[in-house]
Structure 1
């Protein structure tokens, strides 16, 4: 009887996906260069050659550089996909996890707005919205939970240092989401706090809603064609890997 009850409790637990973007700059007109997501031991990490120039400050912080239509990270050539392929892969990743809660740091004011613009541009907004149960920004969440600790900064790397006692390679999207997943497990926000800070792409410019809708356990629509597109993106990446033959010339 106890095992049965614990099993039902686990089924009711919402799956969490931590995500982050690296971009060409800090403005709302900048473009996505890297998208990473992690959920437990599952991860996704994809790169895009941006259509606009990398801003000098962003390039210095992230280590990204575009030369001759190729993307380099700290002078190492990285494999890239189109923006559509990356977004479709992200949606497929979310659908495999059955409408998870998407979590990120400062995503309400930055990452999610860029993501929404890209999804709208490629007519993928509906697929994304139906693939998640909502979003939570850990920046205002941490500010509320840690308001009595007199922290000088609520930047993610500072929170990780303060609460976990470690430094990590910040401004790399994959390292950022791995660190955020560890940070979140230490914060352990209550369901009431999560509910308070939950938002969607449609409501991200409004105040947080007071009531949370229950998680729908139905199978997301269009999972099969999106997953097939994701597999094609992986095949394309493998094909590029076979044809990789060079290192960047100079800095």
Structure 2
């Protein structure tokens, strides 16, 4: 999608994305784009094939899920989306719980991957981030009880925000 707000130069440097004349580029090459509504509908259609998965991400409770909820609400797609997912799991608090006695200074995904798996990766590249998170999740080996304690929904996120 072409961002609806101007990109910060620092974001362009980190991701390699830039926008010129309402076109999206990755490392100076044009990228095919969809509208936000088309992307959300495609995502929901994809999720339908997965049988109500849990969506896992690092630090998603604080940022990504709020962005997703606003976008879904903008197009009245929240209920369609929520029918297709079992919830979300944020690996940041999960990792903090599982590794609390290991002396970690930083729980950034990139640091955890480097320390626990001994590898570096191209952080902020969507595919590399997802693949690294998958390997990190496997290395954390959370039990189903531990996972259950960290599941949340977009509605529970809104309820928690309203309380603060």
For normalisation by structure 2, the TM-score amounts to 0.94
Task: Determine which structure has the larger strand proportion and give its number.
Answer: 1
Q: Distance in 1 between matches of 2:79 and 2:141?
A: 31
Runs of 4+ in 1 over 6 A off after TM superposition: none
Deviations for 1:131-189, whole angstroms, at most 9, x for unmatched residues?
Answer: 00111000000011011111121111111111111111110112111111111111110
Q: What's the offset of the Cα at 1:56?
A: 2.0
Q: Distance in 2 between matches of 1:204 and 1:173?
A: 24
Q: Distance in 2 between matches of 1:75 and 1:149?
A: 42
Higher normalized contact order (CA 8 Å, seq sep 6+, divided by chain length):
1
Q: Give the number of the structure whose alpha-carbon radius of gyration is greater.
A: 1
- Structure 2 alignment gaps of length 5 or more: none
Deviations for 1:58-95, whole angstroms, at most 9, x for unmatched residues?
Answer: 12211110011111112222111111111111111111
Number of aligned residues: 160
1:130 partnered with 2:83? yes
Q: Which one of 131, 152, 155 corresponds to residue 199 of structure 1?
A: 152
Residue matched to 1:163:
116
1:119 partnered with 2:108? no
Q: Which one of 142, 162, 168 corresponds to residue 95 of structure 2?
A: 142
Superposed CA RMSD = 1.2
For normalisation by structure 1, the TM-score amounts to 0.62
Residue matched to 1:241:
none
Superposition pairs of residues 56-205 of structure 1, within 5 angstroms: 56-205=9-158
- Structure 1 stretch 97-106 or stretch 60-69: which is displaced more? 60-69
